[in-house]
Amino acid sequence: MTANNRSLFWAAIALRVALAASFLSAVADRFGLWGSPGTPGVGWGAFEPFLAYTGKLLWFLPPGLVLVAGWTATVLEVVLAVALLAGVWLRAVAFASGVLLATFAVAMTAALGPEPPLSYSVWTAAAGAFLLAALPPASRRPTAGESAAQVTIR
């Protein structure tokens, strides 16, 4: 395996883990696993403050749909994170992750201006997810003498 193939393989693994960790951290924050509301370094600390933030981003939706959007985002983040870590349906999951993150970035930009999604690297995460979707998926780590293309499963 060439150094380039090895680097690409490990970069894809790192990107999958980073995206999954970001999704799971956000969900953990919504359920108070990083601390309660008002704790330094905690964004929401509970689901209600998260829904209030969701309502701020989706100001044009009625309150009932804000609840649906908040729960939908939460479920999607958990499902996508687990799939990224497990390595299943990687291209579809990475693309869906990119769409979800780009949707967040657009909503944040429209509601809050360009600075918050840039400072929170939401656009960067979306681009990384789309890049991951474009990479050739591998079923296993290439062994000596194999290229990443030789172990692709899709």
What does the pLDDT look like over 58-115, one tens digit per residue? Answer: 999 999 999 999 999 999 999 999 999 999 999 999 999 999 999 999 999 999 999 9
Q: Is the pLDDT of residue 54 over 70?
A: yes
Q: Are 53 and 70 in contact (CB under 8 A)?
A: no
Q: Is the pLDDT of residue 154 over 70?
A: no
Q: Are 138 and 9 in contact (CB under 8 A)?
A: yes
**Cα–Cα dist 14/6, whole Å:** 12
**Cα–Cα dist 4/136, whole Å:** 14
Share of the chain above pLDDT 70, in %: 88
pLDDT band for position 7 (cuts 50, 70, 90): confident
Tell me what the mean pLDDT of segment 54-60 comes to.
96
Q: What range defines the domain where residue 8 resides?
A: 3-151
What is the domain count for the chain? Answer: 1
